[in-house]
């Protein structure tokens, strides 16, 4: 299975999955391809959803579905969230020290915690 975008002669495009099979040991060697439209299964545009991609794989799937500027912004947000989570874990959720580790003011860290929905964690509660 290979996800890609199929582009038409006049500029239209749609997201598809391509699958291939080979029959090289047959009397007449051949290849078979299946191209399936996945538009209805494709994730909704991230602009309408506040949930961020959580992995590099999810970001990679956005290539050709979103402009580079949006991909860079989404990637930055994922990295920020991961770094904040790691700093809080390293400091046993001591936010002043986590802010210092990250090179942020405490106010900036608190703003980012609210932005990513991490501000309401109770002491000792694990980050996702």
Per-residue model confidence as pLDDT tens digits over 41-68: 645 544 444 455 566 676 677 776 777 8
* Residue 65, both tokens: 């579905």
Q: Hunting for tokens 């929905």 — which residue is that?
A: 117
Distance of CA 52 to the CA centre of its chain: 6
pTM of the predicted model as reported, rounded to 2 decimal places:
0.49
Q: What is the pLDDT of residues 69-119, one digit of tens each?
A: 887 888 888 889 889 988 998 888 889 999 999 999 999 999 999 988 877
Contact 88, 95 (CB under 8 A): yes
- Please, which residues have CB within 8 angstroms of residue 46's CB and are 6 or more apart in sequence? 52, 53, 62, 66, 70, 74
């Amino acid at each position: 299975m290979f996800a890609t975008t199929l582009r038409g002669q006049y500029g239209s495009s749609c997201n598809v999955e391509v699958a291939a099979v080979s029959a090289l040991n047959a009397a007449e060697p051949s290849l078979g391809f299946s191209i399936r439209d996945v538009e209805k299964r494709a994730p909704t545009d991230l602009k309408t959803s506040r949930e961020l991609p959580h992995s590099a794989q999810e970001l990679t799937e956005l290539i050709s579905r979103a402009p580079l500027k949006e991909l860079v912004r989404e990637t930055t947000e994922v990295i920020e969230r991961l770094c904040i989570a790691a700093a809080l874990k390293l400091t046993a959720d001591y936010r002043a020290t986590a802010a210092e580790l990250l090179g942020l003011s405490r106010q900036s860290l608190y703003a980012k915690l609210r932005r990513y929905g991490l501000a309401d964690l109770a002491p000792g509660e694990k980050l996702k």
